Structure 1
Amino acid sequence: MTDRRGVVAKRAENLAPGVPYVPGWNRARQSAGALAEQLVLLGLDSDFPGLVADVNVFGDGLVQLGAVRPEAAELLASLIVAGLNAESRDTTAGMPLSPRREAPAA
């Protein structure tokens, strides 16, 4: 990896023997599919035509959003902020939104 998220590493255009590419790509494919489902529900699927699963030279999965219009990026950012705000309200009320989060101690 070349950064803490692994997205700077070059994508795997030529596969090297001994690198497990399939698990990383499969995870990226599942994640891209989950995102695509939500974009369809929001009517934004046509705004992200370049959404694809990929893998880098180390076999780590990547999800590429592709080139998007500034308006689509702004809308996605506002949806993320709205989700984070809703999650914050729910967790402070003692109702965790995500199974990864624990309810505050009583």
Structure 2
Amino acid sequence: MTDRRGVVAKRAEDLVPGVPYVRGWNRARRSAGTLADQLVLLGLDSDFPGLVADVNVLGDGLVQLGTVRPDAAEMLAKLIAAGLQAELQGTTADTPAV
């Protein structure tokens, strides 16, 4: 599993000495927990039953959303877009007029 920029490497199946897998997995676990908390508040936790922390062969943490229904993915995308829009409007409102 590799993205366009080569940032995400293949999942760690076999561990190699010297790679900080625990550090990466722990970071992913915290991030997955934060996301899970927000999904609970939104009532979407049951739509993401496969949400788990993982780590890749380089020791980078991964957060797997699991298989989700299209409407759950669409709702998550809309929530992200709404948050970005609100952040942008807040930044614009805080900028003094020239």
TM-score, normalised by the number of residues in structure 1? 0.83
1:86 aligns with 2:86: yes
Q: Is the 8 A contact 1:55 1:61 kept in 2?
A: yes
Asked if the contact 1:6/1:60 (under 8 Å) is kept, the reply is no
Q: Per chain length, whose mean CA-contact separation is higher, i.e. which structure has more relative contact order (CA < 8 Å, sep 6+)?
A: 2
- Measured on the aligned residues, the alpha-carbon RMSD in Å equals 1.5
The aligned counterpart of 1:15 is 15
Q: Which runs of 5+ in 2 are unaligned?
A: none
Percent of aligned pairs with the same amino acid:
78
- SS of corresponding position for 1:62: strand
Task: Find out whether 1:75 has 2:75 as its counterpart.
Answer: yes
Compare the two structures and name the one with the higher helix fraction: 2
Gaps of 5+ in 1: 95-103
SS of residue paired to 2:53 = strand
1:5/1:76 CA distance change after superposition, 3 Å: farther
> Residue 49 of structure 1 corresponds to which residue in structure 2?
49
1:93 match: secondary structure:
helix
- Distance (whole Å) between structure 1 residues aligned to residue 7 and residue 46 of structure 2: 27
How many pairs does the alignment contain? 95
